[in-house]
Chains A and B, each alone.
Chain A
Amino acid sequence: QSVLTQPPSVSGAPGQRVTISCTGSNSNIGVGYHVHWYQHLPGTAPRLLIYGNNNRPSGVPDRFSGSKSGTSASLAITGLQAEDEGVYYCQSYDSKLSGWGFGGGTKLTVL
C-alpha cells in the first residue's frame, strides 16, 4: 500500500497537456515535506524530473512542471510527445514510515 496515491493511467494526444495527481496525507505532503517526480521509461533507469515541488534538474525540458497544494501535488506535461510515454512516480518523505515513500505510479500513454 503506497503512502501516496496516483491514478493508474492517463493519456493524451501529441501536443496536448496532461496532468498527473499525487494525493498524500498529514504524515507527508500535508506537513510540508517536498514532493519529487520521476519518469521511468521502458528499459531505462528512473530519471528525476522535478524536485522540491517545482524545480527542474538541468536537462529537463520546461514542458514538465510541478505544483503542490495542501496534501496533494501535480505534475503537468505540456506539448505531449511520443517519447514521454512511460510511468511517472511521485515521492515524498513520510514521518509514519520514517522513510521515503513513492506513489504507485501512473502510466502515461501518448495516443
Chain B
Amino acid sequence: EVQLLESGGGLVQPGGSLRLSCAASGLTFSSFAMSWVRQAPVRGLEWVSALSAPGTSTYYADSVKGRFTISRDNSKNTLYLEMNSLRAEDTAIYYCAEGPRDDAFHVWGRGTMVTVSS
C-alpha cells in the first residue's frame, strides 16, 4: 500500500520560513513525479508545486513562485517544500501527492497544517 506522510507544519510569523517533508513508502519513489497541494481554511484545493521524477524539472503556482522551493531526495524517498517569506494567505493544510501522472494526482497524504500569524 502506498503511503505518504507529511511533517514539518506549525505556526510561523509573517515573513518567516518553514520546511515541509513528505516521506513515501510502498512505491518506487524515484519513478514518480510528486506535488504539493494546499487547502486554505474554508477554501478548495490549490495546486502549489510539482517536481519531476528525477528532480530536474520544477513547476510552481504563480502565488508561490519565487518564495517556495520544491525538492526531493530519492535515496530517502522524501519530498520537500521549502517555504520562505510566508504570508497570512499561505495558511493552509499542505498535502503531498503522487503525480501529476497523466495529469492526475493518484495518492495523497493526510496533510500537515501551516499557520502564518503574528
Task: Indicate if the CB atoms of A34 and B61 lie closer than 8 Å.
Answer: no
Give the segment of B7-15, B75-83, B100-108 that binds chain A: B100-108
Q: Given contacts A97-B61, A99-B61, A100-B100, is CB(A2)–CB(B44) below 8 Å?
A: yes
Q: How many angstroms between the C-alpha atoms of A98 and B45 in the bound complex?
A: 17
Task: Indicate if the CB atoms of B45 and A105 lie closer than 8 Å.
Answer: yes
Q: Given contacts A45-B111, A46-B95, is CB(A102)–CB(B106) below 8 Å?
A: no
Majority DSSP secondary structure for residues of A touching B: strand
B contact residues around A101 at 8 Å (CB): 47
Q: How many angstroms between the C-alpha atoms of A102 and B48 in the bound complex?
A: 11
Q: How many angstroms between the C-alpha atoms of A46 and B102 in the bound complex?
A: 18
Instruction: Tell me the B46-89 residues at the A interface (CB within 8 Å).
Output: 46-47, 50, 59-62
A contact residues around B110 at 8 Å (CB): 44-45
Total residues of chain A contacting the partner, CB 8 A: 27
Q: How many whole Å from A19's CB to the nearest CB in chain B?
A: 19
Q: How large is the interface on B (under 10, 10 to 19, 20 to 34, 35 or more residues)?
A: 20 to 34
Q: How many angstroms between the C-alpha atoms of A38 and B106 in the bound complex?
A: 9
A contact residues around B102 at 8 Å (CB): 34, 51-52
Q: How many angstroms between the C-alpha atoms of A45 and B2 in the bound complex?
A: 13
Q: Given contacts A44-B110, A99-B61, A100-B50, is CB(A36)–CB(B104) below 8 Å?
A: yes
Q: Does A24 contact B (CB under 8 A)?
A: no
Partner of B47, one of A34, A47, A57, A99: A99
Task: Indicate if the CB atoms of B45 and A89 lie closer than 8 Å.
Answer: yes
Q: How many angstroms between the C-alpha atoms of A103 and B102 in the bound complex?
A: 18
Task: Indicate if the CB atoms of B44 and A89 lie closer than 8 Å.
Answer: yes
Task: Indicate if the CB atoms of B106 and A105 lie closer than 8 Å.
Answer: no
Instruction: Tell me the A34-66 residues at the B interface (CB within 8 Å).
Output: 34, 36, 38, 40, 44-48, 51-52, 57
Task: Indicate if the CB atoms of B59 and A93 lie closer than 8 Å.
Answer: no
C-beta contact mask, A84-111 vs B, less than 8 Å → 1, else 0?
A: 0000010111000111111111000000
User: Which residue numbers of B lie inside 8 Å of A, CB to CB?
Assistant: 4, 35, 37, 44-47, 50, 59-62, 95, 97, 100, 102-111
User: Which residue numbers of A lie inside 8 Å of B, CB to CB?
Assistant: 2, 33-34, 36, 38, 40, 44-48, 51-52, 57, 89, 91-93, 97-105
